Structure 1
């Protein structure tokens, strides 16, 4: 890992939304990595950050006051029986890729999620149908490198830039599956207890 020791991983705040949107913009406007067709407004993005952080961790990677990337967990499916599973998301500044930030962010999230009672980390990833100028297999390869395995594929379910895209699910078990399982500890409560 090439991670610079001056990189700080810290919880995101709604005030980070403008910079996070700058990072997210090329993923929406120039790639099929995100299936969003329009960039959210800053207010909408602030609302998303707040909603996620009510229950799950949301981290930024920062160096010398500049945010270089962010990652978060969110609800896998909004049904109580799925509480022990989450969906993982990560976005890095294009210039910050390949420095170990993604690994550092995911490892932080996975440790905290496991301590909160989460057992399954899932990633929903756009997948190209043949050669594609808007999408590579980099995200799939990143997840494989971190121990995620392919568990499902939906064919031609996303449409962007005048072309169809598949979507795959990848999964990693981050904690033991005990027969008797209590509910997860929401992240704000877990953070207070771990101080």
Structure 2
């Protein structure tokens, strides 16, 4: 069953609910409290770095935030400007009900304004729900970083998933500039 939610741009006042959802989405919180080092000031910093190219979107139902999604620069070099790293978090009680799909579709529908041709997601190997979600939404496994994530006494792989998009007809501006 898909929930009816509204997707909007994040505001500075969303920081505390973003942190709460972020912490609830850690599939290994009982093992290591992996995200305890992320605090409200960190989330406020994230919100201060929002740009048109790297937005944060909030999903709301009945004026309650139920999920969020951010786009960040991938790798930080100009040659990667048409790629964004995507992070997506939905309240655990509402996962599988279309909230993540609504956020992802919003991002994809606005890809021309945002300016990306590739989305990349880093996902812990043990996060089966996230792996299934992205693969169901046409992301492919582009790589595996073995034993890269460490918390307490657990070592975990991280998968790199990605999706490439076609250049939209209205995006041929770059070609015109160089001819």
**Superposition TM-score, scaled by structure 1 size:** 0.78
Contiguous gaps of at least 5 residues in structure 1: 128-134, 184-195
Q: Provide, for residues 91-143 of structure 1, a one-character-per-residue CA deviation record: whole Å limited to 9, x for no partner.
A: 1111111110111101111221234331111111111xxxxxxx342211111
RMSD between aligned residues: 2.6
Partner of 1:159: 150
- Match runs of 1:1-195 below 5 Å: 2-5=1-4, 7-28=5-26, 30-31=28-29, 36-53=34-51, 55-127=53-125, 135-176=126-167
Q: 1:147 to 1:47 in 2, by over 3 A?
A: same
Cα deviation code 1:68-113 (max 9, x no counterpart): 0001111111111100001010011111111101111011112212
Does the CA-based 8 Å contact 2:25-2:90 persist in structure 1? no
| Larger RCO, structures 1/2 (Cα 8 Å, 6+ apart) | 1
State the distance in 1 between where 2:112 and 2:120 align.
Answer: 13
Tell me the SS of whatever aligns to 2:17: helix
Contact between 2:54 and 2:114, CA under 8 Å: does it hold in 1?
A: no
CA distance in 1, matches of 2:17, 2:35: 19
Q: Secondary structure at the match of 2:107?
A: helix
- SS of equivalent to 2:6: strand
- Which deviates further from its counterpart, 39-48 or 153-162? 39-48
Would you say the 8 A contact 1:114–1:174 is kept in 2?
no
For residue 188 of structure 1, what is the aligned residue in structure 2? none
Query: What TM-score, normalized to structure 2?
Result: 0.85
